[in-house]
Amino acid sequence: MSRTKHDSLILLLLLLIAILSISSVESGRPPFACDPRNGLTRSLRFCRTNLPIHVRVRDLLGRLTLPEKIRLLVNNAIDVPRLGIRGYEWWSEALHGVSNVGPGTKFGGSFPGATSFPQVITTAASFNESLWERIGQVVSDEARAMYNGGMAGLTYWSPNVNIFRDPRWGRGQETPGEDPVLAGKYAASYVSGLQSATGNRLKVAACCKHYTAYDLDNWKGVDRFHFNARVSKQDLADTYNVPFKACVVEGKVASVMCSYNQVNGKPTCADPDLLKGTIRGQWHLNGYIVSDCDSVGVMYDTQHFTVTPEESAAATIKAGLDLDCGPFLAIYTDLAIRRGLLTVTDVDMALANTVTVQMRLGMFDGEPSAQPYGHLGPRHVCTPDHKQLALEAARQGIVLLKNSGSLPLSTSRHRTIAVIGPNSDVTETMIGNYAGVACDYTSPLKGISRYVRTVHQVGCSNVACKANNLFGFAEVAARHADATVLIMGLDQSIEAEFKDRTGLLLPGYQQELVTRVAQASKGPTILVLMSGGPIDVSFAKYDRRVSAILWAGYPGQAGGTAIADILFGTTNPGGKLPMTWYPQSYVAKVPMTNMGMRPSPGYPGRTYRFYKGPVVFPFGHGLSYTNFKQSLALAPTDLSVLINTNLFATKNYSTLSSNAIKVKHTNCDSLSLPLHIDVENIGNMDGTHTLLLFSEPPTSVKWSQNKQLISFHRVHVVAGSKQRVKIDIHACKHLSVVDEFGIRRIPIGQHSLYIGDLKHSISLQANLEGIKN
């Protein structure tokens, strides 16, 4: 055989192996239902893809027996062999990458890992909606690939869009921060990317959780299973529910998860006003409502909401719950029906919502490989592009908190760096919680070592830092290096699900380590913090020997590279804090159990919107290696608000209560103003600027006197150049506030807009022309 023929044969064999490997992935997942090879089921009406989904759903429900229906009300749904339907595990997670936290997903074989993006609080600091959506698209590509390979489901109970109300909350790291507008924009963007909807069809089904007013896990003996969150109508409407509404209305999410806690004495999963009334009635959810895991059981066993378990089962389904993560509904629904507490129609309505989502996912369309995402497989997971996006997300989310001029470091002047601290060479710490198995890791030490020679000392054996016996080695390293980078902070042993913090200081002896190393350091000392929640590092902020502070959050699998790129100026930092960094003294005044957002006597209030006391670093803080200048290019000063003319015919004077018009009584489509802002880079380095636009209502509005974020835009500006940002100010959306009764109104009078140091006023007048007498 000639060499040419031999080479051709080898190439042909390699091609055949590649084709067979692709085929093995595509055939790794047998059809969930409607297998075209099954002569008994392939012609069933619910398998006909040319029929409308609601017709197919109705046909399927008509074929199921009551025992089958009941066993489909829980997350580990049974198979129905006589109808060719396989069992399905609904619980999978994809908070910032495909995760194996839920039983629906596992790693191994052709799928050893998946791209692990930065934890949500870090990504939120980018204030970049297009980034959030792109991450969602990548995560769902990898999720579909794993589904095709038989390793994952298609229903992902992510994202967590709760408000980061209290800085001690262990799960604050999972959220987009403390601001409802920011959280809502994140929710809608990430969900849009995850679901990648084409018409009514979904790539995967997302789920916004935990609805609602849930942000306490375990604090001083109070846990989420027993907690009754007492929330005013005003706080519910203008804070806690805002991200969930955005998730449903703007993001078109396919699912909402109700939480463990009670709200005003009623479990959220059994509250018809919250579920049927709000999620379905007002927001028009096209999807299903699922309980947090075992929360239906918690409602009966722990909260003692009903006398009998079947009453709890009936209460949740009648309130609007469609799926129970846990066994409770599978056990007690039949008895609830036999006792007349529930009807089969109630069960059918719940199942219609879950099955409809499965059909929108193509699970009843036969062979997965023949569907739009059937080509996705192992080669679409952990791709170079996906890894690059994880790196870019980390770069965009890291926040420069302080810089006295020592950053960026120079590879020519700082040839040896002392890298010190318990988080200096970590890997899994960087991906936070609700993570999977990362493709690979670059630790901070490894990232810095790519630039210069490093000397490494941990200083503390872990973040608890309960001893200082290793401090001497760290001091020696700092004394002989050209610069010192301390990488400190927290990890999941300090803040996590089930674990809220009691204070805001660095754990153990960490503060002493920072101070001693800074004193010993020959060159500049840079403090890098890994954490989900804020840390009171006032000591370092005011210590002149600590010349710079970076917050990296939990920066994901590529975190070490991103940290090093910012330290050495390859990347110009542009992140902004998505939450307030409070002093330690704040938490002594505020019990976690107080859900009030607004200040009251002896209570300082919460988040930048209501708390006006001292802070370590404010919401939206973040520095750059360059300087930006903002100026108004177009800024109208007046807007006429037209009231619907028939309202006063019935003397509905409540429309103008407190000189503020109900949003529902105006023509919102006509209430828009253009605002143009020029952003100029007046420094010497290209950079990205995040423009934050706040509004403040007229001083006459005593029931809602606060400044709030209404819009944000991230713009890249080349050194010496200018970019124009155009924003449409919608009065109903941006200038409205919520009154004490939970009603959204547009105050009449002078509203103030704030963009950095700029302030602009817009006067709103009520237009009563044409109103009937």
Instruction: Name the burial class of residue 632, with classes exposed (0-12), middle (13-18) and buried (19+) by CB atoms within 10 angstroms of its CB.
Output: middle
Residue 82: φ, ψ to 5°: -65, -20
Residue 80 structure tokens: 């129905």
Residue 547 structure tokens: 């010349």
Q: Which of 292, 500, 536, 543 is catalytic?
A: 292
Q: Is 269 helix (H, G, I), strand (E, B) or coil?
A: helix
8 Å CB contact between 311 and 278: no
Q: Which of 361, 382, 388, 440 is nearest to 110 (CA)?
A: 382
8 Å CB contact between 581 and 617: yes
| Residue corresponding to tokens 């949003």 | 663
Task: Tell me the C-alpha distance between 363 and 33, whole Å.
Answer: 6
Q: Is 402 helix (H, G, I), strand (E, B) or coil?
A: strand
Task: Tell me the C-alpha distance between 643 and 381, whole Å.
Answer: 54
228: β partners: 262
Residue 76 structure tokens: 């580990």
8 Å CB contact between 712 and 127: yes
Question: What are the C-alpha distances in Å from 413 to residues 401, 409, 420?
Answer: 23, 8, 19
| Residue corresponding to tokens 């490494």 | 456
632: β partners: 677
Q: Where are the alpha helices (DSSP H) in 483-622?
A: 510-520, 538-541, 559-567, 584-589, 607-610
Q: Is 638 a residue of the active site? A: no
Task: Tell me the C-alpha distance between 672 and 674, whole Å.
Answer: 7
Task: Tell me the C-alpha distance between 62 and 357, whole Å.
Answer: 18
Task: Tell me the C-alpha distance between 423 and 460, whole Å.
Answer: 9
DSSP classification of residue 88: E
Task: Tell me the C-alpha distance between 71 and 356, whole Å.
Answer: 17
8 Å CB contact between 243 and 190: no
3-state secondary structure 21-80: HHHHHHCCCCCCCCCCCCCCCCCCHHHCCCCCHHHHHHHHHHHCCHHHHHHCCECEECCE
Residue 616 structure tokens: 């370590």
Query: How many C-beta atoms lie closer than 10 Å to residue 110's C-beta?
Result: 18
8 Å CB contact between 143 and 107: no
Angle 335-341-343 (CA atoms, 0-180°, nearest 5)?
85
Q: Which long-range contacts (CB under 8 A, 24 or more apart) does 223-226 make?
A: 223/498, 224/259, 224/260, 224/261, 225/260, 225/298, 225/302, 225/303, 226/302, 226/303
Residue 46 structure tokens: 């619910």
**Residue 319 parent element (H or E):** helix 309-319
8 Å CB contact between 545 and 514: no
Task: Tell me the C-alpha distance between 186 and 127, whole Å.
Answer: 8
| Residue corresponding to tokens 């420094």 | 683
Catalytic center residues:
292
